[in-house]
Every structure is written in C-alpha cells, then in structure tokens.
Amino acid sequence: MRNNRYFLTLSLGLIVFLSACNNEVKLPYEFKSQPIQGLIDNQDWLFVEGVARSSIFNEDTLFIQLFNESRPTPCDYLISESGARFTVPAQPGLYLLSSIAQSYQVISLYRGEAEYPALSGAIEILQIDSVEGIVSGQIDARYDGSNYLNGSFSVPLCN
C-alpha cells in the first residue's frame, strides 16, 4: 500500500514536470509582417517615412525617427506632430526594450507634447547598408493599449 502511494505520487509529479517542460516560452515581443502601424495617443498611426543618422553623442549609435507623413527630401530634418524615435547600436541585432540601466532601450512614441516611453517589446535592426544608404528593421513597441507600434521599416541613412 505504501509503495502504491509512493509510485502514484512519483507518477503524478513526473506528469506535471513533463507537461511543464512542453510549454513554449512566450517571447516579450512578436513582430508583425506589415509596415509599422498602431496607435499613438489612442489615434491610428501608419508609418510613411523616416530617417536614420549617426547619433551626435556616439558614432557607434544610430538615432532613428519614424514619421506618418512625407518629407520634401529624404534627409531633411523634420519635426512631425506624431511619430517614434529611438537610438540603437549601429549594428544589426535584436534589442529588447527595457528600463534596466545596463540594457536601457526605449522607443519614444509621441503626439504633440505627449510622450509615451515604450518599454515593452523589441527593436530588431536587420540591415545597415552604408553603400545604398538604408537601414531596415522591425519593431514591437508597447506603452499601453492606447500607445503601441508594430511592423517593419526601411529608412534612408543620412549624414
């Protein structure tokens, strides 16, 4: 009787352990295969153009701006009513959004003077082509249910 109880407990524990091992780990981001779109300040937002430049503070970093409107020339400086801006290392890679000091990475979503620092999700820089002058990537950036962007982008790399 004691052996049966021991065997039953061991079997039940093994079943629970094995079922836990089969659960897939959910990543903190999920890139959608679409041009970047979402909500900023609870209003629809769709990526139209953007620009990438070397950061004025660190040449190993890119400063990227994404706009929902066109500019007269690709490398013009533009202050738009709403958009997203962020810095990333100037090399392809996956960068998780985080407020932790050692790995601080944020995308600032903005409309007018309202700023929404998206700390959930990720940025993936897929390509930095200095010959063609293009930076391509994808983002999944979330502040809350009224402020988030997800999708892919390709922007000119300007001096």
pLDDT digit string (tens) for the chain, length 159 residues: 555 555 445 444 545 554 555 566 778 899 999 999 999 999 999 999 999 999 888 889 999 999 999 888 878 777 788 999 999 999 999 999 987 755 678 899 999 999 999 999 999 999 999 999 999 999 999 999 999 999 999 999 998
Nearest by Cα to 130 from 78, 88, 74, 91 = 91
Nearest by Cα to 124 from 82, 98, 93 = 93
Q: Is residue 6 part of a domain?
A: no
Q: Is residue 36 part of a domain?
A: yes
pTM: 0.80
Q: Is residue 2 part of a domain?
A: no
Domain that holds residue 127: 27-158
Q: Is residue 19 part of a domain?
A: no
Q: Is residue 8 part of a domain?
A: no
Report the alpha-carbon distance of residue 95 to residue 74 in Å, rounded. 26
Q: Is residue 49 part of a domain?
A: yes
Domain count, the chain: 1
